[in-house]
């Protein structure tokens, strides 16, 4: 999932501290509802430490009635490239059946594209959710083209 819409950069505020906009708060709630409707409720959320991703995660956690303990902040997810995103996914314990990575573009869109060789470009929108179905139960085995996926938004 990509973070919801954030306010424009306001120097000297650091890029990582951009808050969600009013639009973003609505987007996050809408995406949480789509996750619930798709029966894609995460057991674990791995979240970039940026304010906009933390705020998106808080809305998802509240909307899905999740425990705060299922959220883990991963510094390497901040503006991560696809290889880093996949490495973080590979470290997920096999006891977790449904995982939500909450991060940033362009890394998320590029990772989604790698799972669909038919598309030359994918743009995961703000608060966009891309669902992958893991074939098996070992996150370390997830590779591009090995999992069917769909864009929920």
pLDDT tens, residue by residue, 34-62? 999 998 999 999 999 999 999 999 999 99
pLDDT digits (tens, 9 = 90+) for 70-128: 999 999 999 999 999 999 999 999 999 999 999 999 999 999 888 877 777 889 999 99
CA 43 to chain centre: 13
Digit-coded pLDDT (tens) for 30-39: 999 999 999 8
Question: In CATH, which of 3.40.50.300, 1.20.140.10, 3.40.50.720, 3.40.50.1240 is domain 15-151?
Answer: 3.40.50.1240
99-123 in b/e burial notation, b at 16+ Cβ within 10 A? bbbbbbbebbbbbbbbbbeeeeebe
Beta strands in 11-126 (DSSP E): 44-47, 71-73, 99-102
Averaged pLDDT for residues 8-25: 95
Q: What is the reported pLDDT for 133?
A: 77
Dump pLDDT digits (tens) for 134-153. Answer: 777 889 988 887 666 667 76
**CB 99, CB 139: distance < 8 Å:** yes
Query: Taking the domains of the chain in order of start, what are their residue ranges?
Result: 15-151
Q: What gap in Å lies between CA 33 and CA 39, rounded to an integer?
A: 10
Q: What is the pLDDT of residue 18?
A: 96
């Amino acid at each position: 999932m990509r973070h919801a819409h954030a306010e424009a950069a306001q120097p000297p505020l650091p890029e990582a501290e951009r808050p969600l906009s009013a639009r973003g708060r609505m987007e996050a709630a809408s995406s949480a509802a789509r996750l619930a409707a798709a029966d894609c409720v995460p057991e674990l959320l791995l979240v970039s430490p940026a304010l906009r991703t933390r705020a998106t995660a808080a809305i998802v956690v509240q909307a899905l009635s999740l425990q705060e303990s299922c959220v883990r902040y991963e510094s390497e997810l901040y503006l991560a490239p696809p290889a880093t995103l996949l490495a973080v996914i590979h470290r997920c314990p096999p006891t977790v059946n449904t995982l939500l990575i909450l991060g940033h573009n362009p890394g998320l869109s590029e990772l989604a594209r790698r799972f669909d060789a038919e598309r030359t470009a994918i743009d995961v929108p703000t608060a966009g959710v891309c669902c992958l179905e893991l074939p098996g139960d070992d996150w370390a085995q997830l590779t591009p083209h090995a999992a069917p996926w769909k864009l929920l938004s």
